[in-house]
């Protein structure tokens, strides 16, 4: 899974298609991510000591990583990612993620 927490992504399928949001949590073993403002469901909460009123809470649920694509804010397009080995002036090698469409490094 090439996506990480904090990456901007665009939803490419489903009810939230076209929505751009930030990844708030990743589940690499399940290949799922939670994206800010996407896949919101209403959860009925029982009254507890911490939440004595209970009630209905809106919550973001995970979606499969295949339904999202990395979003390049400068190009304003969704793009796939690839890994490249970059070498700096001192000769140190570093593995970086790069957008396939533009070739820009993911920050």
Specify the CATH number for the domain of residue 35. Answer: 2.30.30.30
Is pLDDT of 96 > 90? yes
Q: Is residue 86 part of a domain?
A: no
Q: Mean pLDDT over residues 62-82, rounded?
A: 96
For residue 37, the model assigns a pLDDT of: 95
For residue 89, the model assigns a pLDDT of: 84
Distance CA 27, CA 55 (A): 28
Distance CA 58, CA 35 (A): 14
Average pLDDT over the chain reads 95
Q: Is residue 63 part of a domain?
A: yes
User: Which domain, by its residues, includes 42?
Assistant: 8-78
**How far apart, in Å, are the Cα atoms of 46 and each of 56, 96, 103?**
9, 45, 49
Q: Is residue 47 part of a domain?
A: yes
Q: Mean pLDDT over residues 13-18, rounded?
A: 95
Number of domains in the chain: 1
Is pLDDT of 107 > 90? no
For residue 67, the model assigns a pLDDT of: 97
Query: Residue 33's closest CA among 85, 76, 71, 75?
Result: 71
């Amino acid at each position: 899974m090439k996506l990480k927490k904090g990456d901007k992504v665009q939803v490419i399928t489903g009810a939230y298609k076209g929505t751009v949001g930030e990844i708030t949590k990743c589940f690499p073993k399940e290949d799922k991510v939670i994206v800010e403002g996407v896949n919101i469901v209403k959860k009925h909460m029982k009254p507890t000591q911490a939440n004595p009123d209970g009630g209905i809470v809106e919550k973001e649920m995970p979606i499969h990583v295949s339904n999202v694509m990395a979003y390049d804010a400068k190009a304003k397009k969704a793009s796939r990612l690839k890994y490249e080995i970059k070498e700096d002036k001192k000769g140190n090698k570093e593995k970086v993620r790069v957008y396939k469409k533009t070739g820009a490094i993911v920050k």
